[in-house]
Chains A and B, each alone.
Chain A
Amino acid sequence: MKTVYDRPETLTSSKTHYCPGCTHGIIHRLVAEVIDELGVREETIGVSPVGCSVLAYNYFNVDMQQAAHGRAPAVATGIKRVHPQKIVFTYQGDGDLAAIGTAEIVHVAARGEKITTIFVNNTIYGMTGGQMAPTTLLNQVSMTSPEGRTAIPQGYPIRVSEMLATLDGAAYIARVSVHNPQEVSKAKQAIKKAFELQMAGIGFTFVEILSTCPTNWGYTPKESLKWLVDNMIPVYPLGVKKMPEER
């Protein structure tokens, strides 16, 4: 019988700790499929963050380093400078990347480090139990914005992709989503593009992926996908924000 669907070699057989309906699992698989398709599993070094995906090192079947909260881009810089021929990626959530790790992500892009960042944005701190993140939407309820986030004094959500796209060192910046099969397919294309451009030595590549958190949002998995479409995409429009010029 012909196998039509299987676990990518870049994923281990470990069961994940992710909650039901969480889209981290889909995103892990997309990254793993891309690494498989590019044939670079043995050449890839990943960096896991602090947050829900801290245990990503148990799931990606590649060399991994676990980084302090927000510091994955700095750790990845150290790795890439030592092994410029290897493929280096960070996998980070929005609390990790857009709050405590803001300086690291901005400067890794400014330096044009030839690494790829997979940025999973679900507008909330998941692992710590649903606190407000820099990406939490206005009026969105969280454990630390119980009345809903207000612009003043809690601040506006940060559009990381658009911000990074202003930096000359950033080569490729895209925002994608995984709320339906078509978007999953586009997300995979974006991830693949990001890895290919890294391998071509073009510069820093970044894919923001809108993701759900049914547990902390308080919706069912299905409702969460609809909430993402209705509420997140208007604030975080999908698309390629920066693409290297044809050469």
Chain B
Amino acid sequence: MAKVLMKGNEALGEAAIRAGCRYFFGYPITPQNEIPQYLAKHLPEVGGVFVQAESEIAAINMVYGAAGAGARVMTSSSGPGISLKQEGISYIAAAELPCVIVNMQRGGPGLGGIQPAQSDYFQAVKGGGHGDYKLLVLAPASVQEMADLMEKAFDLADEYRNPVMILGDGILGQMMEAVEFKEEKKTSQMEKPWATTGAKGRKPNLINSLFLDPLELEKHNLHLQQKYDRMAKEVLWENYKTDDAELVLVGYGSSARIAKAVVDQARVQGIKAGLFRPISLFPFPKNALQEACKCAHNVLTVEMSLGQLVEDVRYNLEFKVPVHLYGRVGGMVPTTRAVLEEVKRLVNGDQGVETHENCL
């Protein structure tokens, strides 16, 4: 298929349809409105259903109902709306229902603003609502990657019976890029014998998250935890010039694009810089990060938050390498110039540090 020029949010909507998604329940919020708008127009064309709900809370509970009924279903929102959905997301994770949730992040906290941010990282990767649970979290960095990850998101959701979050931001949602869509898969989706479809010729199915017996609830939690452990093999990442990098920038989504430009500029100035870009944020690509940082004297995370990704980077590097933060927030976007200055400052402060023996 030929490439087309498309806005990120619209490309995401198109990719969802091609991934076999036929149900969308949502509520308007900037900067993701083009997703529901696109699907309101195009889902009915393929026999799908678009419902504008009365609230984010209702929308996510409609997702719960539809997912429990066996459908490929999604919702999308941004910061404050995602916060409202957390009750439902916790229930969906607990009841092990597959669905895709898109967060086009905007500046917070509170009502915040409508400009891009990455300050919902913790909320996305640590659970977000009440109880011990995890979402699979995928962080695209281009319109093409958003389209590509959509199908993967639905497949992962079905495979693990778990909600998958696409964690984007206002830049990715609003910008236009060339994108090439895959042909819609005609292969049948996974069987869902657990779904509530009417108990015809079988015992009734139940979609539930209530376990009044503490021992049963603990067993259910351990079962979920084992599932999250199994997800470790789904890690995705990109390395850029990290083989000999003495300074590794780490960023996801829009910030990673800025960091990549900084790597090239730093290389021109003789600085051995590289970029590690996690694409799956949960599971976090720990081994790949450690490998990418094997020569690093310093690691610098670039993020549109005041230090969320940086905590996971430190943790996953097991505190063996100094990890620094360059963050802008509130809808302010890091500039390559400012990040490059930070890179040079770190490299200058690094004089006299011995090169790692593996990297001579």
Contact between A78 and B69, CB atoms less than 8 A apart: yes
Within B183-219, the residues touching A (CB, 8 Å) are 196-201, 204-210
Contact between A76 and B208, CB atoms less than 8 A apart: no
Contact between A63 and B62, CB atoms less than 8 A apart: no
| Given known A-B contacts A64-B196, A66-B210, A104-B58, A81 and B204 have beta carbons under 8 A apart | no
- Chain A residue nearest to B196 (CB atoms) is A63
Contact between A77 and B54, CB atoms less than 8 A apart: no
- Count of inter-chain pairs, beta carbons less than 8 A: 129
Q: Does A43 contact B (CB under 8 A)?
A: yes
**How far in angstroms is the closest Cβ of chain B from A113?**
9
**Mask: chain A, 133-158; 1 = CB below 8 Å from B; 0 = not:** 00000000000000000000000000
Contact between A66 and B66, CB atoms less than 8 A apart: no
Alpha-carbon distance A68/B207, docked complex (angstroms): 12
Question: Of A44, A68, A79, A106, which is within 8 A of B91 by CB?
Answer: A68
Question: Of A41, A43, A65, A106, which is within 8 A of B207 by CB?
Answer: A65
Complex contacts, A75 vs chain B, CB 8 Å = 61-62, 64-65, 68
**Mask: chain B, 54-93; 1 = CB below 8 Å from A; 0 = not:** 1101110111111111110100000000000001100100
Alpha-carbon distance A41/B198, docked complex (angstroms): 8
Alpha-carbon distance A54/B88, docked complex (angstroms): 17
Complex contacts, B209 vs chain A, CB 8 Å = 66
Within A29-63, the residues touching B (CB, 8 Å) are 41-45, 47, 54-55, 57, 60-63
Q: Does A83 contact B (CB under 8 A)?
A: yes
Contact between B66 and A82, CB atoms less than 8 A apart: yes
Q: Does A67 contact B (CB under 8 A)?
A: yes
Q: Does B49 contact A (CB under 8 A)?
A: yes
List 23 A-B pairs, Cβ < 8 Å: A42-B198, A42-B200, A45-B197, A55-B210, A61-B199, A64-B196, A64-B204, A65-B65, A65-B196, A65-B208, A66-B207, A66-B208, A66-B210, A68-B61, A74-B64, A75-B61, A77-B62, A78-B66, A79-B69, A81-B51, A81-B66, A86-B197, A104-B61
Contact between B196 and A66, CB atoms less than 8 A apart: no
Q: Does A103 contact B (CB under 8 A)?
A: yes
* Main secondary structure on A side of the interface with B: helix
Q: 4 tightest CB-CB pairs across the interface, nearest first?
A: A78-B65, A78-B66, A74-B61, A75-B65
Question: Of A65, A80, A104, which is within 8 A of B54 by CB?
Answer: A104
Contact between A78 and B200, CB atoms less than 8 A apart: no
Q: Does B333 contact A (CB under 8 A)?
A: no
Contact between A45 and B196, CB atoms less than 8 A apart: yes
Within A5-42, the residues touching B (CB, 8 Å) are 41-42
Contact between A107 and B54, CB atoms less than 8 A apart: yes
Q: Does A71 contact B (CB under 8 A)?
A: yes
Question: Of B59, B69, B205, which is within 8 A of A82 by CB?
Answer: B69
Q: Interface residues, chain B, CB within 8 Å of chain A?
A: 23, 25, 49, 51, 53-55, 57-59, 61-71, 73, 87-88, 91, 95, 196-201, 204-210
**Mask: chain A, 105-148; 1 = CB below 8 Å from B; 0 = not:** 01100010000000000000000000000000000000000000
Alpha-carbon distance A57/B210, docked complex (angstroms): 11
Contact between B69 and A57, CB atoms less than 8 A apart: no
**Mask: chain A, 72-105; 1 = CB below 8 Å from B; 0 = not:** 0011111111110010000000000000000110
Between B65, B208, B210, the greatest number of chain A beta carbons within 10 A of the residue's beta carbon is seen for B65
- Chain A residue nearest to B208 (CB atoms) is A66
Complex contacts, A107 vs chain B, CB 8 Å = 53-54, 58
Contact between A83 and B64, CB atoms less than 8 A apart: no
Complex contacts, A103 vs chain B, CB 8 Å = 54-55, 57-58
- Chain B residue nearest to A48 (CB atoms) is B208
| Given known A-B contacts A42-B201, A45-B196, A65 and B68 have beta carbons under 8 A apart | yes
Complex contacts, A104 vs chain B, CB 8 Å = 54, 58, 61
Complex contacts, B73 vs chain A, CB 8 Å = 78, 82
| Given known A-B contacts A71-B58, A107-B54, A66 and B65 have beta carbons under 8 A apart | no
Complex contacts, A66 vs chain B, CB 8 Å = 95, 206-210
Alpha-carbon distance A127/B70, docked complex (angstroms): 31
**How far in angstroms is the closest Cβ of chain B from A50?**
9
Contact between B198 and A78, CB atoms less than 8 A apart: no
Between A79, A82, A103, the greatest number of chain B beta carbons within 10 A of the residue's beta carbon is seen for A82
Question: Of B55, B57, B61, B198, which is within 8 A of A43 by CB?
Answer: B198
